[in-house]
Amino acid sequence: MSFLWFPLEHLPYILITMVAAFTVHEFAHAWTAWKFGDPTAYREGRVTLNPLAHLDIVGMLFLLLAGFGWAKPVPVRRGNFRRPRIMNITVTAAGPLSNLLLAFLGVAVWYGLARSGVLLDVSRGTLTNLQSFFNYWININLVLLIFNLIPLPPLDGYRIVEEFAPPGLRMRLSRYEQWGVLIFLLLVFIPPLRAVTIAPLFGLREPLVTGMVNFLNAVFGGLP
């Protein structure tokens, strides 16, 4: 019996996808903050696509063992922004949006391979491996998109919602941020809670993929 969350034979697909997804996600935060006038992440070497600057070893281990993980958070000082609220929202949203773009890239590449007819000439084993890789690439990036938009600290969704709260409410919310991780763990590891909270959200992956395919069909006229 494997002690990993994922099938052992799929481990290369998982690692490639997660390294790319985490790296691009954190780079998007850092690069956007830098362009908006906050040099904090740049000074710490985070405006880079080098995975070593972004990956957290413990977060990666949790991913393999428990099915969820994390990267090193990007330091952002919203006080350096000319327009703190809108710019901080944009910086925060850049991470999840990068995962949406990566998922769309996966759908587009698979769509292109199918449209070109290349997949008709490969062996069954190669086709199975390609399907597995693209399935993980698309779904993991969509999971990260949806997961990070959950409005619980320290996730991106909470930081976005926080920007819309009045100053007084923001101060009150900050007192309870320490409980965000605990609440998230309860939602993940208690099946009845997971079934009525996180699981339905992750069900949004299918309509998102369908929407991407419909967009490509509209642009290219559908598969032959």
Backbone angles phi, psi at 81, to 5 degrees: -85, 145
CA distances from 134 to 54, 107, 128 (A): 23, 8, 10
* Residue 168 buriedness (CB in 10 A; 0-12 / 13-18 / 19+): exposed
Please give the Cα distance from 151 to 144 (Å, whole number): 13
**Strand, coil or helix: 55:** strand
Cβ-proximal residues to 107 (8 Å cutoff; 6+ apart), any chain: 138, 209, 212, 213, 216
Which of 160, 27, 199, 39 shows the shortest CA–CA distance to 101?
Answer: 27
Cβ-proximal residues to 28 (8 Å cutoff; 6+ apart), any chain: 94, 95, 97, 98
Active-site annotation, residues: 26
